[in-house]
Each structure stands twice: as structure tokens, then as C-alpha cells.
Structure 1
Amino acid sequence: MLFDIPDERGGAMMEQRWGNPLMCHFPLIPIIRAVPMPYMALVYAALWFGALGIALGYRYRLSAWLFTICYWYLFLIEKSFWNNHSYLFGLVGLLLACTEANCYWSLDVYLGYCKSRKTVPYWNYFILKYQFFILYFMAGMKKGTVEWLTGYSVQNLSEHWVFNPFKLILTTAQTDYLIVHWFVFVFDLTVALWMMWSRTRHVAMVFCALFHLMNSRLFSIGMFPWVCLATMPLFYPFDWPKLITSYAETQAAKVKGVFRKYICSSVLNSNYIQCPSYTLQKQFTAEEKTDEGSDKNNVLNGEAEKINSDNELKDLEQKTNNERPQHKHDWKVVKKYITLAFIGFHILTQAFLPYSHFITKGYNNWTKGLYGYSWDMMIHTWNIESVVVKVVDNINQEEFFIDPSFYTPNDRWTRHGDMVHQYAQCLKERVGILGNHDFYFNLSVYVDVWCSMNGRFTQRMFDYKVDLLETPWSPFQPISYLMPLLDEALSWRDVLREKEKDVHSWNNYSDVVFIADFPGYDQEKYLPPELTNITITVLNGTVAFQPELSRYMNAQSYRVKNGEHIKLEPGTSHKIINIGASPAFYMYTFANGSEALNFKDSPPKPKLPIRQELLRRLRNMVKFARIVGAKVFEVFIQLKFCS
């Protein structure tokens, strides 16, 4: 986490993420908002020092709760950066704050802040092991869907070099289907069980380690693979560190004994020192026997004294207990029941949350629930084709188009109806800050997102005819402006793959985009001038094609049916209207001339850029330290001279 905070948590870029007052943010709870810079730097500093305290076991309880509170604060104020492993880190931090992980091998014990204990309650291990069991098992359960098992999720992943050993006996398509989808499904579903069973534990550990190492090369997911590697020993018996140290001490003692024997024999055989070994051995044996006798006497006397003192203590305790008032419930027993209740609550919650989306309907889109606590990792592959944000001045009847990336930290919001609604409200506030106040109170916001999921047709996700400022949203009600996923085209996916292969075979710069639209809806599209050989072909349905006035087109509408196509001119706009009674499916084929002009023969990337990654993380750490230092000094100056 010391490396993760500057990198994945945005510590090295906190000025860009939190320093712009016009930036839109997407909090889970509206009343929990981000504090402005430079105070956000204090949150990051507390988070980092909390992680350091946990790692060293220094002031552990304070450090763990400091880390947990700061982490969940950052987590709750920005949904657009959520993913499964950031949610996992917050859970593990919360669980560690409740355990007694500082009672052994920690600075707290060394410095005397905590008494050394050789045992801790077993639930300390169990709850952490259960959390990672849920991680693996739920990931497998979520992959048991048609989308994953038919191979449409994360397509072409097997082209990565980490799958080269499998491709010695399998084709790329077979590797993608059998290894990436089916083997990973079985692996996620069962690996935690294999790691808990002693007979299969070692083999399962090897497979699990290879799995996480491959993930570290395949995806940009920060420290998640390394955290999973570090937590794999949780599935071994809880005393494995002591067994390893005991074995190491035994081996070191053997080596030390052999070394001493060699030194002693060398000294005794030298010409300078005469050592009658028999006399010395006899003398030492006699002395050892004398010492053993005296030790036995001391032990017997000590045990007798201990028995007497123990009896006196028991009598004193019995007398004291008789004098005390009898309480109905002993506090220790009550504490155990409270702990048991919290453990049971956590177990049930973690088992229920991944399937709780029938309650939180407002966070559902084409998939179920927020991408964060569902453990549906890598199941849905999204491809955003375009995002159009239109603001209408209802007083002057004027339209304005906003760059969708101007006020937002990333494009995650475009795929979630709750964040789209938050974006519209934020955009209204930003326009009010920058523009006319009458305009601020009389505007409408429309968002048109075109997206493809798991190899389907690209289609609009939200109803672009709905004014988002006039549409209510509730976390417990379905999103009214969400357009349904066109599953009518599921049977087309194999056809789309074949057509895509055919178009890509034309030349190195040819491409294709597949579009689906609803009856009565239209799409306006501008064709960049760098595109050439542009053709629109209707695959199913009936559409009206409306070009803009040009030397090739007279701006009249054309009716286009199944199998018909029209040549299009670069640098022009047109409109496609679905005039049929059912969804229309069509495709654009084109060649991108800019790719041919800008093509450069770049050197091959290294397969294991470990050095580059370490340097990047170290640079982010240094940058993070500089920002925190500067902002803390700025806060100090403000408090001292501006108060």
C-alpha cells in the first residue's frame, strides 16, 4: 500500500484530481464531499503513514484505524475510480484494524507499547482467510454465465505472450476459449478450496502464484496481484512463520556446531597449544553433573515456593471474589458474543452483497450493480464508441455541445446511470458558475452514449431524448432513462466476428463499426476527413439516410433496406433514422488514412518491464512526497498567518 497510495490511489496526481474546483466528482453519499486542496494532502499523508504504521506494527491500533478511515473516505467520495481490488483493500484494512496483528514481531512489542503474546484468537486468521476465499469463490461464481463461458468476454486475450506455452499445443482461439475462459472459471471457483486442503495445498499454491503473476503482466491493476501473492500464506497453518524460523535456527545451530568442531580440532592439532581432550572432557563432565544436581535442587525448591505462592494467590482471589458483587454477565463473555455477532454479520454481508442488486436497482445498468463489490472481474468488456453531451438554453432555444472529458477525471461515468445523473447536476452547477444565471435556471442536459459490450453491436445506452435535470433518480428504483440491451442481436456475434476478419483482411488500415438502434430513434454522425472508402451497409431492418448538402448529395432522404449500401464522403455529416418497427442493424466500413501517414516502426516493448515499473513507482513516490510536503507547509502557513 505504500506504493499503491501514490500510484493507484492518485497520490502523485492529487493536484490534478482534487485541485481543480470545476472538476465533477461522483460521491456515493452526496453529503460526503472531497475537501479542497491543500487539505486533501493531509488525508493522503495520514493514509500513507497509517499504512507504514501497519507494516511496522508501530502504534498499530491507531495506524490501522487512521488508514481505514482515510481510505474509506477517499473511496466514498469518488465512484469513478472504483474497482474490485480497491474495495478489497478497504475491507482488509478494516479487518486488520479489528485484529491483534501487533502482538508479535512488531515495533509495539519491541518498544513496550504492547505485550508480546504467543497466541491470538483464531478468528483473527479466519476472518482474513474468509475474505480472500470470497474473493476467489465469488469471482468464479460470477464467471458462471453465458457471457463468460461462451468466450465473448475479454476476447483475444490469449494473443498476449504469457499464453505462448499453451499455444505450443493449442491454437489461439482454443487457448482463448479453454484456458482464458473455462480454466479460469474452474480455477476461481475452486482454488481457495484446494489451498485449504493440506493434500493439494502446495500444488494449488503454485497454480495460484502463476495466475497472479500472469495477471500482473496482462492487466494494469496496480498492486492487486502482489497483494494476493502476499496473502496466499493465510491458507497455510497459522504457525508457519514460527515453523520456518525454528527450522532456520536448527539449521543455523547445526552449521555453527560443525564450524566450532572444525575450529576446535584445528586448534588441538596445532603445534602451539596442547589440549588433553580426555582430561578436559572428564573435568567438564564432572562439572556438568555438579551443575545439573544444583539445578535440580534449585528447581525443586523453586517449584515448592511457586506452589505455596499459587495457593496463597488462589485463597486471596477467592476471598476477593466473595467480597465482590456478583454481576449478571461477565464482560469477557459479553465481549466474545459481540465479537461473534460482528464476525457473523461480516460473513453474511460479504456473501449477500454480490447478489444484492435487486435492492440497489438504481446502480444497475446493462450489468447488475456498481463495479466494486460484485467481484465480477473482467466479465464485461466495454468499448465506448462516442459520447455526446448536449446543453440546451431553454430561454433562447440554443444548443451547446460540451466536451465529455472536460469536467470529469475519467470516462467511467459514461457507463453508469447514477453517475450520468450526477454529471448532469454537476454540469448545471458549472455552467451556472461560468455563465448567465438566467441560463443556469433554464437549461436542459441530454447525454447520448454509444457503447458495445462483449462483442455486441454498438448501441445507445441512455435515452438521449430525456432531460436528465428533470428526471428523478433513486438508488432503489430502476433507471428510467436506461435503454435496454438489444439481445435480439446475440445470434449475430459470430457473424460480426467473420465480417470483422474479412474487413481487416482488406489492408492494414481498414476497420468496421457495427451499429444497432431502436425504432423511431436517429443518430447524427460526422465523418472525419482522414477516413477513406466509407460505406454504410444495412444488415437488418429499414433506415432513412439523410445526408447534408454537398456536391455528391442533394440532401434528400434515401430509404435503405437489408443488404443495401451507400458510399459516403469524408468530412461530411449525415443522419440515420430507424423508420422500421424493429431495431435496425447496420455497419460502417472505412480505411483510416491517418494511421498510414502516422505509422512509425517503433521498437518492440520489453516483455518484463520490471525495471521501468519500479522506476515509475519510485518517481511517483518522490512526487507524492514533494506534493505532500509542499501542501502541508501551505496549510501551516494558512493556519499561522491567516487565522
Structure 2
Amino acid sequence: MRATLNSWLFKQVDNSALVAFRIIFGLLLACEAFGSIATGMVRRQFIEPEFTFTFIGFEFLEPLPGNWMYVFYSVMGVAGLMVMVGYKYRIAITYYAITWTYVYLLQKSSYNNHCYLLMLLNYIMIFLPAHRSVSVDSTIDPSIKREHMSRGIYVFIIGLIWIVYAYATVAKFYPDWLDGSFPRYLMSTRGKNWDILQYEWAHEAIKYFGLTFDLLIVPFLLWKRTRWIAVAASIFFHLFNSVVFKIGIFPYMALSFLFFFFSVQKVHQWFLWKKPFYDKGEIIVPKYRNVILAAGSIFLVVMLLLPLRHWTIKDDVFWTEEGHRLSWRMMLRSRTGRATFIVQNKDTGDRSIVNLSNYLSSKQERSVQSKPDFMWQFAQKLKQEYKAKGEDIAVYIDAQVGINGRRPSQFTDPTVDIAATEWDQFKHHEWILPSPGYDRPKPPSK
């Protein structure tokens, strides 16, 4: 059994797919960094706001002062280019992984699963020999040059991709996707430039295509007879998302995964034909084999288990948001809300309503009025601010939230002092009222 596993996972294959992925991945890293500056994202997320909403537990993180975040992102962009050309690869990809983790944890107002996946891929790429061919590093130091890699790298990357799509599939099995109401609502937010997306047939097509794509894309890519169908579907799906939803580099990063589904001969022939092709099929078992297998297995098991945590938490994740993040729950819901924050002096009993716009950007305000962890964090922020002025306060939140275009329902218990509660990532918070369910009126189709 051990010998069979060794011969299968550690059989050497041509590394053209990994090298090609590194080149595209590095380019996308650079585009993400420089694009964040060019589009004003850095200014809106880190420079203009009075403070940022970090992931809970990372409140010690703060943006660099003044305009230094522009410099920070510029250096990230340079690191991305270094990854692309394979110059000081390990240093560059490690730097990008750490700095991306910093900005990822620093603000969650713009959180999506794509940012999470990008962080994971950065750390994975640190340990992969992606710089050993077609790189500046291998030109400067020919001793590191290799034209092969272990087949297990294919297995690991495809395994991660399959997990992402599998959970995206499972998440779509809920009433608002299955009856088409969420695709209908989502398309209604695209504006007049997308009139074709306002028809009922378009909503039905998006519903069925989205579910079928997530369910079958990896098996169809793995099976040679359906591979080109899957490639065409991938190109359409991801370019549609890029054009309609403008979600940055993710569609192109997802397309770059296609390198790992074609035969090594095809990838070499199409993209890196000048590179020597490896076809010896040697079996090279590294001395630290057990460490590699243990680390890879643990990582994939964590990826399998982490998205399940919301099933252990009371009530519906679509309502409570508890367990939503890090779970590959992509483009499934839209939240709107209105929240009144009431501060009460515990000594005098005096009450006042907080003007959210005095503290928050418009994007932060939308999150604070609809998402419970933002509500809790802002309550803690108010408590700390008043404590600095010598006042002991309670913070009450009267919030109504609507999901997927429904009329808002009472979300919080307005009698609970939210500032006095604790936040637990793996438990339900009783100040969040029970879900009203899915049988409330939905917006009509246009």
C-alpha cells in the first residue's frame, strides 16, 4: 500500500502546468495590488474611514498612517511581478502571502470568498516548486532548475478546487435559489445596462446553470470526453461574472486552474513549447514524505470540515450569518437593514441615539445595519470610546434586516446590552432573534 501510494503521488511529471499557473497567478497578484490603488479601493477602505472593521480577534491591526497604504500596495504589486517572472520567488510569494493576510484581516467590509481563496493559494504556492523552470531564479542559479514535479501537486490543487465547487453546490440547495427568487433579485440590481437579464427565462437559466456548473465542473474537466464542454462552460461562466458583477481578478484566477486539468503534454505544447519536456516518469520520494502527506491531508481535512460549522450553530445561517465566512457560500444572498444604536449611561440612565454617519463610511454603515458581527464590533467601539471619556455605558441595538429583497424583519433583541456580550465564532448569539423563514413576500420579476 505504501509503495503504491509512493509510486502514484511521487511519480514525476512535467511541471508546465505549475509554471504556467505561477506566471498567470503572479500577474493577477500584481493586477490586484495595482488595481486596488487605481480604482480607489485603497483610499476608500483604508485611508478615508475613521477605523476599519477587522476580523474579530485581530483588533490590534491598523492601517498604515497617511498615504503609506499606497506604498504598501505598490510593494505588493512589485512582489506579484516578481512571482510572475520567478525572481526571488520564495521571498516574493511569502511577502505577498503575509501582506495579503494583513489587509484581509484588517478590513472585512469588502469580504468575499475570493479574497479567502487568494490567501490560501498564496500560502500553498510558498511550498510548491513553481520557480524551478522558466524563471529568473533558475536562470541565475541553474542548480535549482527542474522540468518536473510530483503528481501529488496535481492531486492537492484539484482537491482544493473540488472542495470549493462542492460546497458552492451544496449552499445553493436552499429555497431562494431553487425557486429562482435570488437570481431574480440579483439581476434586478444590475441596472438598465442589463435589460436582457431581467427576463424570467434569464433567471431560470442562471438558476440551473449556476447549480449545474458548480456540481459538475470538476468531474467534467477530469473526464477527457467532456473536458472541452467544461472548458467552454468555464470561460462563459467566469467571463459572465467578470463583466456583470465586476469581481476583480477571481474569474481569471479560476480560469487559470484549467492548466491542471489538461494532460502535461498539451499544456507544454500550447503554452511552454520552448521549455524542455519531461517524460521520464521517475519516482522520487522525498525524505520528508510523511511530513508532506500529513500536512497536505490535514489542510484538506480542515477545508472539508470548516464550512460545516454553521450546521452546528442554532438557526439559519442565511439569517444569522453565523458560520457564513470561510465556507464557500458565494453569491447566495443580499442583506439590507436599518439599525438604531442607543447608548445609555449606566449611572444617570440618560439615553442618546448614535448618528452612524459620524463614525462610518457608507459601505461600513450598510454592514453595521445588516450583519451581526459588525453590530457587535461597533457596540464594542462605542463602549471603548465612552469609557475613555469616563462613562460606563450600555449599547442597545434595534435592527431590522431583510434578506434577498424581503421586507425587513426584527433582527435584534433591543433589550439586550450588546456591548456587555461576548462573541463566539462557533456559537449562536441569543440577541439575534429567530429567523422569520422563507415564506415572506419576494420582489416580483420585472
Using structure 2 for the length normalisation, give the TM-score. Answer: 0.80
Partner of 2:135: 106
8 Å CA contact 2:309, 2:323 repeated in 1 = no
Query: Unaligned regions of 5+ residues in structure 1, if any?
Result: 250-331, 502-643
Which of 406, 409, 414 is the equivalent residue of 1:464?
414
Relative to structure 1, the CA distance from residue 211 to residue 19 in structure 2 (aligned partners, 3 Å threshold; closer, same or farther) is closer
Q: List per-residue Cα deviations over 1:123-150 (Å, max 9, x = no partner).
A: 2333222222222222112112222111
Aligned equivalents of 1:108 and 1:240: distance in 2?
A: 25
Q: List per-residue Cα deviations over 1:464-519 (Å, max 9, x = no partner).
A: 221112233323331011011112xx44436x649xx8xxxxxxxxxxxxxxxxxx
Which of 35, 52, 55 is the equivalent residue of 2:81?
52
Partner of 1:387: 339
Partner of 2:441: 493
Which of 200, 203, 217 is the equivalent residue of 1:176?
203
Q: List per-residue Cα deviations over 1:536-570 (Å, max 9, x = no partner).
A: xxxxxxxxxxxxxxxxxxxxxxxxxxxxxxxxxxx
Aligned equivalents of 2:39 and 2:203: distance in 1?
A: 36
Which of 472, 478, 483 is the equivalent residue of 2:428?
478
8 Å CA contact 1:125, 1:238 repeated in 2 = no
Partner of 2:22: none
Shift of 1:78: 2.4
Relative to structure 1, the CA distance from residue 7 to residue 333 in structure 2 (aligned partners, 3 Å threshold; closer, same or farther) is closer
Shift of 1:393: 3.0
Which of 260, 268, 286 is the equivalent residue of 1:242?
268
Aligned equivalents of 2:232 and 2:426: distance in 1?
A: 43
Deviates more, 1:198-207 or 1:393-402: 393-402
Partner of 1:116: 145
Relative to structure 1, the CA distance from residue 388 to residue 474 in structure 2 (aligned partners, 3 Å threshold; closer, same or farther) is same
Shift of 1:113: 6.8
Which of 406, 413, 434 is the equivalent residue of 2:358?
406
Shift of 1:121: 1.6
Partner of 2:24: none
Partner of 2:13: none
Higher normalized contact order (CA 8 Å, seq sep 6+, divided by chain length) = 2
Partner of 1:354: 307
8 Å CA contact 2:307, 2:323 repeated in 1 = no
Kindly provide the amino acid, as one letter, of the partner of residue 103 in structure 1.
R
Greater fraction strand: 1
Aligned equivalents of 1:343 and 1:476: distance in 2?
A: 25
Aligned equivalents of 1:398 and 1:106: distance in 2?
A: 67
Aligned equivalents of 1:174 and 1:388: distance in 2?
A: 40
Matches within 5 A, 1:236-635: 236-244=262-270, 334-358=287-311, 366-367=319-320, 369-384=322-337, 386-409=338-361, 410=364, 411-433=366-388, 437-438=389-390, 440-441=391-392, 443-487=393-437, 490-493=438-441, 497=444
8 Å CA contact 1:148, 1:181 repeated in 2 = yes
Shift of 1:11: 8.9
Partner of 1:206: 232
Aligned equivalents of 1:485 and 1:451: distance in 2?
A: 10
Partner of 1:148: 177
Shift of 1:371: 4.0
Shift of 1:247: 6.6
Shift of 1:101: 0.3
Identity of aligned residues (%): 22
Aligned equivalents of 1:10 and 1:367: distance in 2?
A: 35
Shift of 1:398: 3.0
Are 1:27 and 2:55 counterparts? yes
Aligned equivalents of 2:71 and 2:273: distance in 1?
A: 45
Kindly provide the amino acid, as one letter, of the partner of residue 421 in structure 1.
W
Aligned equivalents of 1:22 and 1:158: distance in 2?
A: 33
Relative to structure 1, the CA distance from residue 333 to residue 230 in structure 2 (aligned partners, 3 Å threshold; closer, same or farther) is closer
Relative to structure 1, the CA distance from residue 374 to residue 163 in structure 2 (aligned partners, 3 Å threshold; closer, same or farther) is farther
Using structure 1 for the length normalisation, give the TM-score. Answer: 0.57
Kindly provide the amino acid, as one letter, of the partner of residue 30 in structure 2.
L
Greater fraction helix: 2
Q: List per-residue Cα deviations over 1:337-357 (Å, max 9, x = no partner).
A: 100111111221112111122
8 Å CA contact 1:32, 1:76 repeated in 2 = no
Which of 254, 259, 264 is the equivalent residue of 1:228?
254
Shift of 1:425: 0.9
Aligned equivalents of 1:427 and 1:153: distance in 2?
A: 35
8 Å CA contact 1:381, 1:453 repeated in 2 = yes
Shift of 1:370: 4.4
8 Å CA contact 2:55, 2:106 repeated in 1 = yes
Relative to structure 1, the CA distance from residue 9 to residue 364 in structure 2 (aligned partners, 3 Å threshold; closer, same or farther) is farther
Aligned equivalents of 1:419 and 1:157: distance in 2?
A: 23
8 Å CA contact 1:14, 1:41 repeated in 2 = yes
Aligned equivalents of 1:213 and 1:176: distance in 2?
A: 18
Shift of 1:361: 6.9
RMSD: 3.2
Aligned equivalents of 1:363 and 1:36: distance in 2?
A: 38
Number of aligned residues:
403
Aligned equivalents of 1:18 and 1:354: distance in 2?
A: 29
Shift of 1:392: 2.2
Shift of 1:58: 0.7
In structure 2, the residue corresponding to 1:187 is in which secondary structure? helix
Shift of 1:162: 6.6
Kindly provide the amino acid, as one letter, of the partner of residue 240 in structure 2.
M
Partner of 1:188: 214
Aligned equivalents of 2:43 and 2:316: distance in 1?
A: 29
Q: List per-residue Cα deviations over 1:407-434 (Å, max 9, x = no partner).
A: 235232433323311111112223455x
8 Å CA contact 2:313, 2:426 repeated in 1 = yes
Kindly provide the amino acid, as one letter, of the partner of residue 449 in structure 1.
A
8 Å CA contact 1:46, 1:67 repeated in 2 = no
8 Å CA contact 1:452, 1:458 repeated in 2 = yes
| Larger-Rg structure | 1
8 Å CA contact 1:209, 1:229 repeated in 2 = yes
Partner of 1:549: none
Are 1:3 and 2:31 counterparts? yes
Shift of 1:243: 1.7
In structure 2, the residue corresponding to 1:227 is in which secondary structure? helix
Shift of 1:190: 0.6
Kindly provide the amino acid, as one letter, of the partner of residue 86 in structure 1.
C
